[in-house]
C-alpha cells in the first residue's frame, strides 16, 4: 500500500495540489498506517474492508492520542480521541485516495464508499466580537519591531480575510499601492486560483511602513522574523498565544484562522453581500462560505425585528395590548 500511496501522492502533486494539502494527505495516510501497524494488520489494500474501516473510525474517536509523538507538545495538549468533524475529514481524504486507486484499476472497489460519515450535532462556532478584536490590536507593543509587525499581520487578516499562510507568503510585488489591492497567487491559494483583494488605505499605509522598516533585510517578503527569515504561521500563532490573548483579556480560544472567520461574520452582520464575501474568501462553492459565516443570535434577532413580514402587515397596530383594570 505504501507504493500505491506514493503513486497517488505524485499524481496529486502533478495535478497542482497545494503543499499544505499534500502534507495533509501524508499525515492522514501515516495515521492509517499507525492504526494498521498497531493492530497487526499488514499494509495491503486487500486487508482494508468495511469492517476494518469502521473499527478504524472507532479508534480515531476513542483511542487515538493527538500529538502523541510530538516532542514539544505538553501532556495536556495530547488529548485522546479526535472530534467527529476531524474524523470525517480523515475519512474524506482516505475515501479520495482509494477512489483514485479504484479509478486507476489498482483495486477492484473502494471500500470507503460504503462507510458513512460520523453523525454529530453542529455546535455554534464562537467568533470574536468587534470589541475583542480591538483589544487584540491594542495588545502588541507597536514601539518594537515584533509588536508592530504582528499588529500589521492582524490588521491585514481582519481587512482581507485571508488565511494566515496566504498573508505571510505575500511579497512586495503582490501589493498594488496605487489601487490599494493585494494579490493572492494561485501557488499559495488553497483553491489554486489567484484572487485580488481590496485593502483599506490604513492597511496599505501600515504595509508601506513595515516594508520600510525591513529594508535592511533585502527580502521580497513583507513579514519577517527578527533576523530576516520569513515569519511562519507557527511563529505568529505562538506570539498570539504567549503574549496577546492574555493581555487582551480574552478567554476564547484564539488562533489565526479565527480572524478570517470573525471578519467574515462581521462583514455579513454589517450588511455585506454573501456573493461578494465568496469572492473575497476565494471559495468557488457558495456552500463553503456558509461554514465561515455563523451570524450571532443578536444579529439574527435584529434582522428579524427589522425585516419581519409582519411589520408590513400590522404596521403600527403591532403594539402592546391595553387592558382595562
List the CATH number of the domain containing 244: 1.10.443.10
Rounded distance between C-alpha atoms, residue 186 and residue 18, angstroms:
9
Same domain (yes/no): 82, 214: no
Q: Is residue 318 part of a domain?
A: no
Same domain, 146 and 295: yes
Do 91 and 137 lie in a common domain? no
Q: Flag whether 73 is in a domain.
A: yes
Q: Average pLDDT by consecutive 10-residue portion of the chain (325 residues)? A: 96 88 94 95 95 96 77 61 91 96 95 92 77 96 96 96 95 96 89 89 96 94 94 94 94 93 88 86 77 60 74 61 52
Contacting residues for 146 by C-beta, under 8 A, at least 6 apart: 140, 226, 239
140 and 279 part of one domain: yes
- CA atoms of 256 and 130, how far apart (whole Å): 16
Q: What is the pLDDT of residues 296-323, one digit of tens each?
A: 556 666 777 777 777 777 665 445 555 5
Task: Please compute, for residue 238, the number of CA atoms within 13 A of its CA located in the half-sphere on the CB side.
Answer: 9
Please count the CA atoms within 13 angstroms of the CA of 318 that sit on its side-chain side: 9
Q: Are residues 142 and 110 in the same domain?
A: no
Locate 141 and state its grid cell. 507593543
- Pair 263, 139 in one domain: yes
Q: What is the pLDDT of residue 308?
A: 76
Residue 313 inside a domain? The answer is no
User: CB neighbours of 3 closer than 8 A, spacing ≥ 6?
Assistant: none
Whose CA is closest to 156, among 208, 207, 195, 221? 207
pLDDT computed for residue 76 by the predictor:
56
Phi-psi bin for 43: left (phi > 0), alpha (psi -120 to 50), beta?
beta
On whether residue 309 sits in a domain, the answer given is: no
Q: What is the CATH number of the domain that holds 75?
A: 1.10.150.130
Task: Judge if 100 and 173 occupy the same domain.
Answer: no
| Domain assignment of residue 95, given as a range | 2-114
Angle at Cα 299 formed by Cα 295 and Cα 305, nearest 5°? Answer: 135
- Which residue in 97, 85, 144 sits closest to 1, CA to CA? 97
Assess if residue 201 is contained within a domain: yes
Among the listed residues 132, 127, 150, 264, the one whose alpha carbon sits nearest the alpha carbon of residue 197: 264
Quick one: 149 and 295 in the same domain?
yes
Q: Per the domain annotation, does 122 fall within a domain?
A: no
Considering only CA atoms, give the Rg of the chain. 24
pLDDT in tens, 17-73: 888 889 999 999 999 999 999 999 999 999 999 999 999 999 999 988 876 666 555
Residue-wise DSSP of 227-286: TSSBPPHHHHHHHIIIIIHHHHT--S---HHHHHHHHHHHHHHTT--HHHHHHHHT-SSH
Q: Are residues 253 and 200 in the same domain?
A: yes
Look-up: residue for cell 494561485? 186
Asked if residue 98 belongs to a domain, the reply is: yes
Total domains in the fold of the chain: 2
Does one domain contain both 204 and 283?
A: yes
Considering the domain architecture, whether residues 138 and 43 belong to the same structural domain is answered as no
| pLDDT computed for residue 291 by the predictor | 65
**Residues 46, 104: one domain?**
yes
Provide the 10 A C-beta neighbour count for residue 274: 13
Asked if the structure places residue 324 within a domain, the reply is: no
Amino acid at each position: 500500500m505504501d507504493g500505491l500511496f506514493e503513486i497517488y501522492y505524485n499524481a496529486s502533486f502533478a495535478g497542482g495540489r497545494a503543499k499544505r494539502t499534500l502534507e495533509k494527505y501524508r499525515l492522514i495516510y501515516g495515521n492509517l498506517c499507525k492504526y494498521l501497524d498497531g493492530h497487526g494488520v499488514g499494509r495491503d489494500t486487500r486487508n482494508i474492508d468495511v469492517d476494518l474501516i469502521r473499527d478504524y473510525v472507532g479508534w480515531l474517536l476513542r483511542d487515538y492520542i493527538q500529538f502523541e509523538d510530538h516532542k514539544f507538545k505538553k501532556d495536556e495538549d495530547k488529548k485522546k480521541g479526535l472530534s467527529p468533524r476531524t474524523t470525517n475529514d480523515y475519512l474524506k481524504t482516505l475515501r479520495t485516495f482509494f477512489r483514485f486507486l479504484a479509478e486507476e484499476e489498482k483495486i477492484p472497489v473502494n471500500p470507503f464508499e460504503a462507510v458513512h460519515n460520523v453523525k454529530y450535532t453542529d455546535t455554534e462556532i464562537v467568533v470574536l466580537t468587534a470589541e475583542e478584536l480591538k483589544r487584540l490590536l491594542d495588545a502588541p507593543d507597536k514601539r518594537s519591531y515584533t509588536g508592530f509587525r504582528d499588529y500589521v499581520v492582524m490588521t491585514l487578516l481582519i481587512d482581507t480575510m485571508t488565511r494566515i499562510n496566504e498573508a505571510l507568503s505575500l511579497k512586495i510585488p503582490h501589493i498594488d499601492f496605487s489601487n490599494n489591492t493585494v494579490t493572492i497567487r494561485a501557488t499559495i491559494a488553497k483553491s489554486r486560483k489567484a484572487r485580488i483583494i481590496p485593502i483599506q488605505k490604513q492597511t496599505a499605509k501600515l504595509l508601506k511602513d513595515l516594508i520600510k522598516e525591513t529594508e535592511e533585510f533585502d527580502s521580497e517578503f513583507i513579514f519577517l522574523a527578527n533576523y530576516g527569515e520569513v515569519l511562519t504561521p507557527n511563529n505568529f500563532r505562538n506570539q498570539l498565544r504567549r503574549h496577546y490573548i492574555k493581555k487582551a483579556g480574552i478567554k476564547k480560544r484564539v488562533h489565526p484562522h479565527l480572524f478570517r472567520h470573525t471578519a467574515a461574520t462581521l462583514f455579513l452582520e454589517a450588511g455585506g453581500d454573501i456573493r461578494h464575501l465568496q469572492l473575497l474568501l476565494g471559495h468557488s462553492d457558495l456552500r463553503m462560505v456558509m461554514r465561515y459565516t455563523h451570524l450571532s443570535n443578536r444579529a439574527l434577532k435584529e434582522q428579524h425585528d427589522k425585516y419581519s413580514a409582519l411589520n408590513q402587515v400590522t404596521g403600527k397596530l403591532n403594539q402592546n395590548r391595553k387592558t382595562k383594570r
